Chain A
Amino acid sequence: MTKQQANWSPYDNNGGSCVAIAGADYCVIAADTRMSTGYNILTREYSKICKLADKCVMASSGFQADVKALQKQLAARHLIYQHQHNKQMSCPAMAQLLSNTLYYKRFFPYYSFNVLGGLDNEGKGCVFTYDAVGSYEKVGYSSQGSGSTLITPFLDNQLKSPSPLLLPVQDAVTPLVEAEAIDLIKTVFASASERDIYTGDKLEIVVVNADGIRREYMELRKD
């Protein structure tokens, strides 16, 4: 007698890829704008990037309904924080909040693969990468989503610092300039769109630096 399998799942995967790179005084967060289900495209113009605070931006791929719910939760909690502390949440604080929010639903998780980017309290770029239940780590760069297996090895090749056991200690954040990092992002997404069917249409790039937050777009393959 075989175990009965579920004939309905509460989850769906809307595909897409997200990347973030931290620099000395900036942070670049990017995601494609394609939303799919199964082998179909739902829309070519959906933003997976959400501004959580003045210096903190999140990109999430996975089940967009859960992503939307997660973004709303964080926005509401941020408002409460602002009322209580009279200031915006810093990126590291938001990172911890996101982790706690995800783990809160440990036994019915948000199907959301997140990458959080922004500036820390000293104005240095920081990127935090998550799994679906809130395990997180501060890194110099990260990629999540359907194209991450194609993107991450390339970023490792370009950005990975030698072992932290070596002296002198190397920073996780890249020595690249902002323009170079954006160029790298564009290259990486163009490559991912070639082979990953769920990544394409348009690339949305968000740059966080001392002047604020700015947005850029680039066309990607539509097939």
Chain B
Amino acid sequence: MFRNQYDTDVTTWSPAGRLFQVEYAMEAVKQGSAAIGLRSKTHVVLGCVNKANSELSSHQKKIFKVDDHIGVAIAGLTADGRVLSRYMRNECINYSFTYESPLPVGRLVVQLADKAQVCTQRSWKRPYGVGLLVAGLDESGAHLYYNCPSGNYFEYQAFAIGSRSQAAKTYLERRFENFTDSSRDDLVKDAIMAIRETLQGETLKSSICTIAVVGVGEPFHILDQGTVQQIIDTFEIVAEQEGPDAAIGQEAAAEGAAADQGGSTDEGVAPMES
């Protein structure tokens, strides 16, 4: 992965037409702990895996409320994410102040993307090392966007970023066509299940994940641990009752990492066979 001749600063192109510093910034996103987002016609759910530096410390905050109708989940350099959240909050407040109405999500992500692009074209700056999943509601409906360090942004029905996000993406790819008409509660369940995919064997409990919801008539808020644990309990029990076969079918997406699961202590999930 050594392309050192052209990767010293962000304003140097490689002969193949690539900006390596920007690509390295996207690597930082892949190293962060997972964050996922999915949306229906009326709701958007964000979820993330709580990573703590050590047993003694608290976990990093990865989901931020930006306004009543917008929230963001980040993966990568959390400090960059915090700074960008502060920017987003400011933009929302200023827009509300001037226009007495909520900032449309599409406008916010464009502003974010432009801000990120600036850092890819100044020799004295560096790209933001954080990927943002922006979830929001506006007049045109529910939206989920992904903002890259490169300055690109895309709209998604469902997406996952960060480490081991491929497992979640596979789960979401199988199910996303149903999301548009999902109920709010089903959407939250799917989010938690997608997070479980990224855990690959670790026990799923509410202390290890954070879930946030925004929807029609429901301002953006982070679900409290009790609520999340209740939802986890419902489908963990179902998995137990259905028996190992159904459970294995559900875990098909995590097959690739089955070999690592030898030490699984999750009571509801049947032990994987590789």
Contact = CB atoms under 8 A, between A and B. Distances in A.
Interface of A: 72, 76, 79-80, 83
B207 to A, nearest CB: 19
Interface stretch (B18-26, B89-97, B111-119): B89-97
B65 interface: yes
B93 A72 contact: no
Interface of B: 65, 86, 89, 93-94, 96-97
B89 A72 contact: no
Contacts of A79: 89, 93
A80 B97 contact: no
Interface of B is mostly: helix
Contact of A83 (B65, B94, B97): B65
A80 to B, nearest CB: 7
A76 B89 contact: no
Interface of A is mostly: helix
A76 B96 contact: yes
B91 to A, nearest CB: 12
Contacts of B96: 76
A76 B93 CA distance: 6
B96 to A, nearest CB: 7
Nearest to B64: A83
A87 to B, nearest CB: 13
A72 B97 contact: yes
A80 B89 CA distance: 8
Contacts of B93: 76, 79-80
A79 B95 CA distance: 13
B65 A76 contact: no
Contacts of A76: 93-94, 96-97
A53 to B, nearest CB: 15
Nearest to B85: A83
B10 to A, nearest CB: 30
Q: Which 3 A-B pairs have the closest CB atoms?
A: A76-B93, A76-B97, A83-B89
A76 B96 CA distance: 9
A76 B94 CA distance: 8
Nearest to A77: B93
Nearest to B96: A76
